[in-house]
Structure 1
């Protein structure tokens, strides 16, 4: 890309950048970002107004079944390389303390927290980015070895919230303040509040919170007294049984399911597992809306791939019958079934 053809602003650059991602052109995408920096656009703006929204669009294209998993992975890799190039180009000198940034155990969406890490670095923090799926014990061991001023933890999927809570509590026992972010905590951070942890909606907000330790530590306690009734723990113990039972009923009631290929069977088991995991997480935070939102999302995802609503309705009906003595799970399942389009209530 020559100077004559380079975009002159972030609005135009966004469209061109997405084209480079679609073409899997890593060099052109990197040149575009560096060209913006050379033109005087601040590095933080390149990260937050170019890379971040482009990555959100990549996820939407996958959800609409316009891009394959391979295309999504390729685009994500390119954006990771662009973030690295922007960071190397900016090279800010650290003037503040150390912050550790990591994904929750089992969380593999590493680019959003990487953007947070780079924004913190641009604002003068010494940042250690631990990447995707960091086990709680390993994170705590790292915190004991290195004197961190704060930990920023990311969670993209609400079904990981019980594990997120374990990591949050482990960090607190190390006396390191925690800020969390990501869609996994709700668009408005409501599940972060339920867990009793500071939440930031975006990278700049996270940076401002970390700079104010009092605000970071001044968080109302969590609201998890309902966990004393053991409903969540019972659901987790019965996970395999629930999946196997739903699969058996699907095969009995839908003859075509008996002829599934290995790939179709794996995908079905994975979807059933996600239903159970989201249900358990909704019970953990005592918020049925989490499960309803998941069901609506699943309808869109599977619908874009030609999967009928009945493929979701059947397991929800099965789980509702099996878990009728689990009050919070039963309520969430009833609301989930009510959210299905065209299904008799």
Structure 2
């Protein structure tokens, strides 16, 4: 989300970050509510304070300046702040019902919660279903409630194949679908590939929802071809091949588990790039992964070795092989 910080919010921002660093729930809530009491719109507090602070927390984790535990504690504090703001500012809805949900397997719920609260402040009758909602349960809920639209959040591009299945399931209910989140690209380019309208932030979502007809997009190109299916089928084999080539003798059990997880992310991101036929998806993931690994002292030559092993196995997979060979480490 983007937000123009008012002077008051800008001045409060360092103190809010300090509250997150200290896991000071009461201090963070007091600060946010004091801004509202001082005349700052609740929407500005959510978009100008909580949202950018949470993005900063993610950067701290990525650079290994904060641990996973610190990141989780900070996220909990921000969730409590959002809840406090929602309890304090309670406009009566005068617009249609909207359902906001994180698709199955998507556990980054705070960005979607922020969107839901901003829509609520804008007068929409919002139901927020939270993290990782299984598609069959979401579809059943949509049939029962018949909302104006459903907003689906996806934070990770590697989840795009699963996102498309959720989108298609919702479309079969005749409820319009709108998507958001970094998983669709910062400019929404992969949402267009999937044939679904994209909202870059909460304000954009509200504007799209207010239109007489939710903005349509072109029909998506065929997705999920034989190469993608073959990559999915070869996932375990690819991970095992790389593990056989790595010297794991000095790895702790925790480090081995982390390595297996990272290899899975590489295969999943490669498969997603093949799914949407876009090498930039894989390139952006690799750039992020190398930043994370370097900040933790992991030698990056292991990534190059991984690509070599996988590319050798995937000689008959033209796009996957080309993506692995063309992506710099």
> Could you say which TM-score interval applies, normalised by the shorter chain?
over 0.9
Deviation at 1:217, TM superposition (A): 4.3
Instruction: Find the aligned partners of 2:67 and 2:279 in 1 and give their Cα distance.
Output: 31
Residue equivalent to 1:17: 16
Q: Is residue 2:119 matched to residue 1:120?
A: yes
Unaligned runs of 5+ in 1: 1-6, 341-345
Residue equivalent to 1:141: 140
Residue equivalent to 1:292: 283
Deviation at 1:258, TM superposition (A): 2.3
Q: How does 1:301-340 map to 2 (within 5 A)?
A: 301-336=292-327, 339-340=328-329
On the 8 A contact 1:246/1:319 being kept in 2, the answer is: yes
Q: How does 1:48-63 map to 2 (within 5 A)?
A: 48-63=47-62
Deviation at 1:143, TM superposition (A): 0.6
Equivalent of 2:268 in 252, 256, 277: 277
On the 8 A contact 1:10/1:49 being kept in 2, the answer is: yes
Q: How does 1:1-345 map to 2 (within 5 A)?
A: 9-214=8-213, 216-223=214-221, 225=222, 227-228=224-225, 230-250=226-246, 254=247, 257-336=248-327, 339-340=328-329
On the 8 A contact 1:279/1:291 being kept in 2, the answer is: yes
Instruction: Find the aligned partners of 1:100 and 1:297 in 2 and give their Cα distance.
Output: 31
- The alpha-carbon distance between structure 1 residues 226 and 153, as it changes in their structure 2 partners (threshold 3 A), is closer
Secondary structure of 2:249's partner?
helix
On the 8 A contact 2:208/2:215 being kept in 1, the answer is: no
Unaligned runs of 5+ in 2: 1-5
Instruction: Find the aligned partners of 2:299 and 2:55 in 1 and give their Cα distance.
Output: 26
Deviation digits for residues 51-109 of structure 1, max 9, x if unmatched? 00000000000001000000000000000000000011110101111111011211111
Secondary structure of 2:218's partner?
coil
Aligned residues: 324
Instruction: Find the aligned partners of 1:143 and 1:217 in 2 and give their Cα distance.
Output: 20
On the 8 A contact 1:177/1:217 being kept in 2, the answer is: no
On the 8 A contact 2:152/2:179 being kept in 1, the answer is: yes
- The alpha-carbon distance between structure 1 residues 226 and 72, as it changes in their structure 2 partners (threshold 3 A), is closer
On the 8 A contact 2:196/2:216 being kept in 1, the answer is: no
Secondary structure of 1:128's partner?
strand
TM-score between both structures, scaled by the size of structure 2? 0.96
Residue equivalent to 2:3: none
On the 8 A contact 1:279/1:329 being kept in 2, the answer is: yes
Deviation digits for residues 248-297 of structure 1, max 9, x if unmatched? 121xxx3xx12322101100000000000000000000001110111111
Secondary structure of 2:203's partner?
helix
Secondary structure of 1:131's partner?
coil
Deviation at 1:8, TM superposition (A): 7.3
Secondary structure of 1:160's partner?
helix
Q: CA RMSD in A?
A: 1.2
Secondary structure of 1:106's partner?
coil
Deviation at 1:213, TM superposition (A): 4.4
Instruction: Find the aligned partners of 2:72 and 2:308 in 1 and give their Cα distance.
Output: 34
TM-score between both structures, scaled by the size of structure 1? 0.92
Instruction: Find the aligned partners of 1:147 and 1:187 in 2 and give their Cα distance.
Output: 29
Instruction: Find the aligned partners of 1:195 and 1:213 in 2 and give their Cα distance.
Output: 23
